[in-house]
Structure 1
Amino acid sequence: MFGRDIGIDLGTANVLIHVKGRGIVLDEPSVVAIDTNTGKVLAVGEEAFRMVGRTPGNIVALRPMKDGVIADFDITESMLKHFLAKINVKGFLTKPRILICCPTNITSVEQKAIREAAEKSGGKNVFLEEEPKVAAIGAGMDIFQPSGNMVVDIGGGTTDVAVLSMGDIVTASSIKVAGDKFDQDILQYIKKEYKLLIGERTAENIKMEVGTVFPDARHEEIDIRGRDLVSGLPRTITVYSKEIQEALAESVSGIVQASKSVLERTPPELSADIIDRGVILTGGGALLHGIDLLLAEELKVPVLIAEEPMHCVAKGTGIMLENLDRISRRKVKI
């Protein structure tokens, strides 16, 4: 059995793996549960995610990726090893070639860390590609023509905004405002307004069930439970969509500003193309209610959400794997 080519979307919130010829074979949260007494890895992915906020003192559920880059090298390596063993892509004598996606503005040190983690996990040759470029390909854009395409990829740790033409990035911006920041905003809002302490998973649930970022776009409510900061006892409150819009307003305006700054730096010919083609939203953050309406109103261009936005980067790695020999010839390994 020969080793296969695999593409990894190494995200802050989720890891997706695409195997050439098999499609997306793994989609699990990037969480690792560790026993702090022994340093032993107890669970990875979905199993570890269920433990977040619900573990005894000696077990911690960690997210080794922060803001799209590796925060804990050893744990990231353990996580990748676990996932690669799970999908069984190692050949008898050969190792797979790996294509990994990373944010546009990461440093060479951070790039080296990602490459080393992949090599130690069992990769032969490791190629790095910029996330918005891969997301655009996965969303079905033809970025190899001499015309402008704009993509806004809102992930868990970073939002990458890029204008692409002729198969490469013309202007780009990457900010550390994305899904995780939205959850923190909701958590802090509930704490400040209601004196109630809730966990990250509850905050994420609120974001998905009733959250919106466009005025009067959604009118829903949800009952949530948490710990009262005054009495220390459990308490239930009702939260409304309008409140979540308030809580998220500041962070979302950061994404709007980043998109505007990329458009301002785009050559006029390509700007004209973007008015025709519109902006494509990818990543899990594209599912945030009203984000497309808000960006369309602020940028004055059509904004469309990609099909299966969470899978765009993984799908894009699949398409790039088909042309890996062309990419490896063009790119000298760093």
Structure 2
Amino acid sequence: VGVFAEDLNGLLINNSTFQSCKTGVLVLRSSNVSIISTEMIDCEKAGLNASNSRAFTVTGCRAVNNTHAGLFFRNCEDIDVRDNTLSKNSEGLVFWGTNHSSATGNQADLNYYGILLADSHNNTISGNTLVNNRRSEIVGGFGVGMSIQANSSYNLVFKNTASNNYNGLEITENCQRNALCANNISRNTHGVRLDKNWNNLIYRNNFVDNVISAYDNQTKSIWNTTVGNYYSDYRGSDGDGDGMGDTPYTIPKGSSMATDYRPLVMPFTGDIDTEKILEDIKRYAHYNPEEGNTIRVDESGATIRYTTRRAPPVFEENTNTVVERPPFTPVL
């Protein structure tokens, strides 16, 4: 291990290089940690492995060609990962059981997973560039720009660019009340892939020149609020000039028979208000798998529920409690 820190309050690693270590930096049960302008390269396991830690910042670093994760956080809180390069790792950045944290302005390329969240809640993922995450050592051409999985909830994913991946963005395995908003998703095999979830919001995204814009399997998620998404393969018209197509866009793949009832006819370029996204989650994400109801928006924009069944999916029992996103003040 290049640096091993345990039970510390206050650690700075600046302008350092850890190359060909088993693990570059290993941090356990520590707080107020900053890693700045540092390289973690060719490590046998992870470039950085942090667990049970908080108030942790990683800025301007390079995690390249590590066998496992470039940056790995397990059971952590108040993590800020910003403006890093994450390349040629199995996973660029992992939040595992990690809450109230953020990843902003990072570039992840040539990983199997650019960014991966598992069993993690109340995180903000914004302004990242997730490109060319395709590798063939294990499965030919497979790679995911960003994956939210394993009962994760209330994560806000917005203003990211996902391009030339196998799956641009994905949500799998009993995740609820996450929002994908205002992301630019282009030239992926699947723009967005949803599998076995419910009550996630996907809206104001731009799907451009993907082989398949979206895949929605065994989910009940919401593809439009008062507005939906832009799809470059949408062929409808906008007769009334309100910026939304007059005919719905049917999500092309998957068993859910999902529909965007308010597809945009021009790419979305506006600003994002995170408080408004949280309000939209509260307003729209109330599908009950036991009732089999679906969610739709009428012409006035009000949410309505109707009981016409369209072969609703059968969900596995979710024994995890959804963690609603509360206000958060770090305890330093």
TM normalised by structure 2 equals 0.25
Q: Which has the higher strand share?
A: 2
TM-score by length of 1: 0.25
Higher helix share: 1
Task: Between the two structures, name the one with larger relative contact order (CA 8 Å, sep ≥ 6).
Answer: 1
